[in-house]
Structures are given as structure tokens and as C-alpha cells.
Amino acid sequence: MLAPHHKLALDKMHGVGKYASQPNGDAQNEPKKVWTTLITNTKYLSGLITLDYSLKKHGTKYPLIALYTADFPEDGQTALKARGIPMKKIEYLLPSVPKEYANDPRFYDCWSKLAPFSLVEYDRVVQLDSDMLVLKNMDELMDLELDPPEMNGDGDKVFAASHACACNPLKKPHYPKDWVPENCAFTSQHNDPDKAQKEGAPATAGIACPNGGLQVVNPSKGVYDKILETLKNEDLTASYEFADQSLLGERFNGRWVPIPYIYNALKTMRWNGVHDAIWRDDEVKNIHYILSPKPWDETEETVSNESHLWWIKLNDERTAKDKARGIQDCF
């Protein structure tokens, strides 16, 4: 594992694929706006590949770049290359003093989802989790107004995201005690579901925490330096129960742009009694398959969640096309 303190090291990043920077450093063909997604192991690789397929199916003009860490195995890299998915190697981020996430080991990887703030070779990065599925084109996120990079995180529009859902519908005992429906930003929108399709609740609503699954970012060295400094502060990071999104919510409290749930539609919101009051299947642009099981862990016959069928259907379509192109790996 790499050291926990990291400086910007763009010269250490390596790209492959159609959109990647050339070895001689000529970035003439480098796109200025990109989707990115973090990948650290092959467990999420089917999700990433199907995410890429869903973006392209719905006509995005921008490439998805897989941000991979040193432990991402060679067979995973080969699978991405076979499908023409560009890659960039990034450093694995951790706080200077490790925080224990025994109840949610997934959060150890989540600090590295802050890497897009460092990718200053791009004008706009929209970070997506690999357990997402795009249902409609959402290229408009590439033009959403945010603070320019030179404001260094001191403005009121540092990044954009949807709110985290604080309802804790599975009643996980290790979640914070204030994570209850009455403290959820989405609950505040129940009385106006039409508005909820178009606007996010204020950034200060509920627990005032963004969900880290989708982040709209203007990369900035100044912002990234603030993030790195925060990772060195044990007193702060010890209180961050949800890793990257807790850091962003605390460090930039009220200074981010809330976007509607349709861009990061947590699958649990659709459940009866959670946020079905605002959820509309035909409005959702991007569904986020949070928590376990993931849709790739199930089959059409054993599916535990109706929305998983959406992923399974598109994944079947994707894998059939892969096979027609001669791609025969297990992803």
C-alpha cells in the first residue's frame, strides 16, 4: 500500500486508450471534460464496464476514464483495454492516521474518490461510482456552473453533488444516531415531488452531507491541497464516519451545489417508506446500487431488488456485444 501522504503527481499517472495522454506528454487529443470512476479490484469491474456501456448507450459525448490504483490486477487492466476504456493510474489516498472501518470496509477505498480534484489536466471531471447505471443522458453536468479553479475552494460552489440519504433504512447500528428520516434532506422534499425532480434540497438541509457517489468537479490544486491537509488532521478524519463524503461535507459545509436525486438515485430511496414519495422511475437519469448485494451478485431468477433487473438486462446486452467482438473474459 502506498504512503498516506500524497502530493499532486500527475507525471506519475499513466493513461492508455483512445483518450489518454501520449507518452511524450503531448495532450493535444486529451479531452477537457471527462467522466471518471475509481477501480481498486475486479469485484466491481463488471459494474464499471456496464457503467461505461450505459453512458455510451445514452449518447454521452465524453469518455469514462477508469482511475486505478497500484493493486488493481493485470487481468482487470487487460479487460479495460479490450473494451477501449481509458485508464489513469492514481495514488491510493488514506488519512495520516488510519481510521477503523471494520463495519464498512468499503470506506477504506473511498478516500481515493477525492482524486478527481487533482486532475488539473481537465476542465471538468464528473466522478461516478462503479455501481451506477446511467438510464438517460446527463451530459448537462459537464456545463453546470461551479467556482473556477483559481478560487481554491474558497467560493460557494466548490463542487456539485446530490445529498446523502440519512434515513438508514436497514437500521445499521453503527451508523450515527442522527441518521434518521427526519434529518434527511430528501424527506424535506416529500411535499413537493415535482420540484424534487429538478432541484436538490439546500446544501445545509438535513445532515448537510453530499453523497460521494457522484461529484461534479472543476479540478483545482488549491482545493486538492486543502483536501490533503485535511487528511493529515487526525482530529478531523477520526470523526468522518463516511470517509470522502464526510470530509467534503465538513470542509466545504454549505458551499457546494446540490443537484436533484435523479443524478445519483440511491436504490434504497425507491423502497416503500423511504423516499418513494419523490422517486419517479421515468425521471431517474442515473441509479446508484448502494449496499449489498450488488446486481452482478444476483441473477434474474434470484434478484432481491426490482431495480437490479435494470442492470442485469443491460449487462446481458453488453456481454452479448462483447462476445460478438471476441471478448471472452469473465467480466
> Which CATH number belongs to the domain containing residue 21 in this structure?
3.90.550.10
Q: Is residue 322 part of a domain?
A: no
Q: What is the pLDDT of residues 222-246, one digit of tens each?
A: 999 999 999 999 999 999 999 999 9
The values of phi and psi at residue 299, to 5°, are -120, 170
Task: Return d(Cα 299, Cα 213) in angstroms, integer.
Answer: 24
Range of the domain at 237: 10-314
**Contact (Cβ atoms closer than 8 angstroms) between residue 290 and residue 242:** no
Q: Is residue 272 part of a domain?
A: yes
* Per-residue pLDDT, 106: 77
Q: Which of 6-15, 191-200, 248-257 shows the lowest mean pLDDT across its residues?
A: 6-15
* Alpha-carbon distances of 110 from 56, 77, 192, 226, rounded to whole Å: 25, 20, 33, 17
Q: Is residue 78 part of a domain?
A: yes
| Structure-block grid coordinates of residue 316 | 446481458
* Per-residue pLDDT, 23: 29
* Per-residue pLDDT, 101: 80
Q: Is residue 328 part of a domain?
A: no
Q: What is the pLDDT of residues 27-42, one digit of tens each?
A: 567 799 999 999 999 9
Q: What is the 3-state secondary structure (H, E, C) of the chain?
A: CCCCCCCCCHHHCCEECCCCCCCCCCCCCCCCEEEEEEECCHHHHHHHHHHHHHHHHCCCCCCEEEEECCCCCHHHHHHHHHCCCCEEECCCCCCCCCCCCCCCCCHHHHHHHHHHHHCCCCCEEEEECCCEEECCCCHHHHHCCCCCHHHCCCCCCCEEECECCCCCCCCCCCCCCCCCHHHCCCHHHCCCHHHHCCCCCCCCCCCCCECCCEEEECCCHHHHHHHHHHHCCHHHHCCCCCHHHHHHHHHCCCCCEECCHHHCEEHHHHCCCCCCCCCCCCCCCEEECCCCCCHHHCCCCCCCCCCHHHHHHHHHHHHHHHHHCCCCCCC
pLDDT at 104 over 80: no
* Per-residue pLDDT, 103: 75
Q: What is the pLDDT of residues 128-153, one digit of tens each?
A: 999 999 999 999 999 999 999 999 99
Q: Is residue 319 part of a domain?
A: no
Strand arrangement, sheet containing 132-134: 132-134, 286-288, 265-266
pLDDT at 54 over 60: yes
Give the position of cell 483536501: 227
Q: Is residue 2 part of a domain?
A: no
* Per-residue pLDDT, 45: 98
Q: Is residue 256 part of a domain?
A: yes
* Per-residue pLDDT, 28: 62
What band does 12 get if pLDDT is binned at 50, 70 and 90? very low
* Amino acid present at 75: D
What band does 108 get if pLDDT is binned at 50, 70 and 90? confident
Q: What is the pLDDT of residues 66-84, one digit of tens each?
A: 999 999 999 999 999 999 9
- In the chain, the number of structural domains is 1
Q: Is residue 326 part of a domain?
A: no
Rounded to the nearest integer, the mean pLDDT of the chain is 91
pLDDT at 13 over 80: no
Give the position of cell 449518447: 59
